[in-house]
């Protein structure tokens, strides 16, 4: 049986778009909350192949998307590099912030494959359970986005620490980004060898990089990871999600080597169809709030996106992750609607 997700990544135009949803596993699902409730820390869930594979499969069992995304987090990389990472309820991630040169020098650069081997185990387990026509998507955070968490010590509103550091001591910041490029390369190759069919790079905070630093912090590290991975895995397809980068999106597509651009909900599908779809596959971009509302409002918004993008290579997704308050029935309704548009 064919995997229509991989066909779309290869540039094929399909009867109905393949679909999946960012954060399709997670707190909006009661079956996720049940597993999560019994595990003290979020990272323990990421490093437990039995539970992590179960959680990866939950949305597949419930609404049969064309893609399973590995259940893990972008912050397993700082954890593997030896920084303390924890997740507290309602607050989000907390990390020991990187402050000094010593903190960068002390990163455990050779620890990635050993530390993250349980994640590779999860990939293998999911691969064995997935129906033949469903693809398995591996992922990692882009170096810039991961670095923001490492320097800020968690989520941030103004990104003042990381922006100040990057400007005042560009050399040291470059060193941190290079370490993240190497670690992420190892991690992605590990996922591909374990069975991942394609890779998505999440650059959630690409949109806050000042324009004079955009190439250095967003384009160059992403491009390096993709070319490093392709030295060993020449056929692997990449999706990039550089959230909120505005007109720089054209440079991102032409420079990084991605096969597909995941667009957030602020970019019009009409613009994407006209100016971007000739160069790569488009993924996106339903507003997660439309999914939360559900019913006709949701279907109308979804149809408008499909109308604009389905005449070219296209994967239906959200513009960002499923919100925790989303009723799972809405996701089922949307999935059935998209499936009804074609025979696959």
User: Which residue in 181, 194, 190, 261 sits closest to 226, CA to CA?
Assistant: 181
How many residues lie near ligand 1CP (CB under 6 A)?
21
136: three-class secondary structure by DSSP: strand
**Would you list the DSSP string of 166-215?**
HHHTHHHHHHHHHHHHHHHHHHHHHHHHHT-SEEEEEETTGGGS-GGGHI
106: three-class secondary structure by DSSP: coil
Shortest distance (Å) from residue 157 CB to ligand 1CP: 10
**Which is catalytic among the residues 149, 186, 187, 252?**
149
Residue 32: CA atoms inside 13 Å, Cβ hemisphere, count? 21
Task: Check binding of 159 to ligand 1CP (CB under 6 A).
Answer: no
Task: Check binding of 69 to ligand 1CP (CB under 6 A).
Answer: yes
Report yes or no: 226 and 204 within 8 Å, Cβ to Cβ: no
**Is the N-terminal amide bond of 137 cis, ω within 30° of 0?**
no
274: three-class secondary structure by DSSP: helix
Query: x/- contact string, 191-210, with ligand 1CP (CB under 6 A)?
Result: -----------x-x------
- Phi, psi for residue 141 in degrees, rounded to 5: -80, 150
Told to judge if 149 belongs to the known catalytic residues of this protein, a careful annotator would answer yes
Task: Check binding of 36 to ligand 1CP (CB under 6 A).
Answer: yes
Tokens 């679909």 locate to 19
Task: Check binding of 54 to ligand 1CP (CB under 6 A).
Answer: no
- Which of 47, 63, 139, 217 is close enough to bind ligand 1CP by CB under 6 A? 139
Task: Check binding of 78 to ligand 1CP (CB under 6 A).
Answer: no
- Which of 8, 52, 74, 301 is close enough to bind ligand 1CP by CB under 6 A? 74
- Which of 6, 39, 42, 304 is close enough to bind ligand 1CP by CB under 6 A? 42
Task: Check binding of 57 to ligand 1CP (CB under 6 A).
Answer: no
240: three-class secondary structure by DSSP: strand
Shortest distance (Å) from residue 177 CB to ligand 1CP: 17
**Which is catalytic among the residues 66, 73, 186, 197?**
73
Of 161 and 172, which has the nearer Cβ to ligand 1CP?
161
Report yes or no: 118 and 177 within 8 Å, Cβ to Cβ: no
Q: Which residues bind ligand 1CP (CB under 6 A)?
A: 22-27, 36, 42, 69, 71, 73-75, 87, 92-93, 139, 155, 202, 204, 321
Give the catalytic positions in this structure: 23, 27, 36, 73, 149
């Amino acid at each position: 049986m064919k995997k229509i997700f991989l066909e779309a990544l290869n540039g094929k135009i399909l009867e109905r778009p393949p679909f999946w949803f960012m954060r399709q596993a997670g707190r909006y699902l009661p079956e996720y909350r049940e597993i999560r409730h019994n595990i003290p820390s979020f990272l323990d869930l990421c490093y437990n192949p039995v539970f992590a594979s179960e959680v990866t499969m939950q949305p597949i069992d419930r609404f049969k998307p064309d893609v399973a995304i590995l259940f893990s987090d972008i912050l397993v990389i700082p954890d593997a590099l030896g920084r303390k990472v924890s997740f507290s309820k309602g607050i989000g991630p907390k990390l020991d912030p990187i402050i000094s040169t010593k903190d960068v020098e002390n990163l455990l650069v050779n620890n990635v494959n050993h530390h993250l081997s349980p994640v590779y185990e999860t990939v293998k387990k999911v691969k064995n359970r997935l129906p033949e026509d469903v693809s398995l998507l591996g992922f990692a955070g882009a170096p810039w986005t991961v670095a923001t968490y490492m320097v800020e010590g968690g989520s941030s509103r103004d990104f003042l620490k990381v922006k100040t550091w990057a400007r005042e001591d560009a050399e040291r910041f470059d060193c941190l980004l290079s370490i993240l490029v190497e670690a992420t390369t190892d991690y992605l190759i590990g996922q591909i060898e374990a069975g991942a069919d394609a890779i998505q790079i999440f650059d959630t905070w690409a949109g806050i990089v000042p324009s004079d630093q955009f190439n250095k912090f967003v384009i160059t590290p992403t491009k390096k990871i993709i070319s490093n991975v392709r030295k060993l895995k020449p056929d692997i397809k990449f999706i990039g999600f550089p959230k909120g980068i505005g007109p720089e999106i054209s440079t991102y597509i032409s420079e990084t080597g991605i096969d597909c651009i995941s667009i957030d909900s602020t970019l019009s599908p009409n613009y994407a169809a006209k100016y971007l779809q000739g160069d790569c596959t488009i993924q996106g971009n339903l507003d997660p709030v439309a999914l939360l509302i559900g019913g006709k409002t949701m279907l109308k918004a979804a149809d408008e996106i499909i109308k604009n993008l389905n005449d070219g290579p296209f994967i239906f997704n959200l513009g960002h992750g499923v919100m925790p308050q989303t009723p799972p029935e809405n996701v089922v309704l949307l999935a059935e609607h998209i499936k009804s548009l074609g025979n696959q």
